[in-house]
């Protein structure tokens, strides 16, 4: 029996089970917070963080979220555009014009460095 095949005892790692990895990947598609993801898949926050650092040494949880959440963001954008264009949702059209096209209401106010002095009266 080789060194690797020996039973070292103890509990198996949570993410050694492919079902748990698959569950995490599916949950990440809805862009949860760290605590939400850990709660849904049934592990501690510390276990989730440790796994993310192991799998994505450079980005950790944020890299995992980006890998599986980008598809959701594209779907959301598609739904927003469909709602704005096909259904004529004016509110959504305004929102998208401001965010995608950089339009604004023209109500920009620039205040130069102002010095405010407060004088207090003695009672």
- 69-119 residue pLDDT tens: 888 999 999 999 999 999 999 999 999 998 888 888 876 667 777 777 777
Return the pLDDT at 25.
93
Sequence-ordered alpha helix ranges (H) in 29-59: 34-41, 45-55
Return the pLDDT at 2.
60
DSSP 8-state symbol, 101? S
Nearest to 56 by CA among 35, 83, 25: 25
Return the pLDDT at 48.
95
- Report d(CA 32, CA 98) in Å as an integer: 26
- 19-42 residue pLDDT tens: 999 999 999 999 999 999 999 999
Q: Per DSSP, which regions of 54-108 are E strands?
A: none
Query: pTM (2 decimals)?
Result: 0.62
């Amino acid at each position: 029996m080789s060194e690797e095949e020996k039973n070292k005892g103890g509990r198996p790692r949570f993410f050694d089970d492919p079902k748990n990895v698959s569950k995490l990947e599916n949950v990440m598609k809805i862009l949860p917070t760290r605590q939400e993801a850990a709660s849904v898949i049934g592990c501690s926050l510390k276990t989730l963080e440790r796994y993310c650092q192991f799998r994505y040494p450079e980005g950790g949880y944020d890299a995992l979220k980006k890998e599986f959440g980008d598809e959701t963001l594209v779907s959301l954008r598609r739904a927003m555009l469909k709602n704005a264009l096909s259904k004529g949702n004016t509110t959504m059209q305004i929102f998208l014009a401001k965010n995608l096209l950089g339009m604004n209401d023209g109500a920009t106010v620039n205040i130069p460095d102002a010095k405010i002095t407060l004088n207090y009266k003695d009672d």
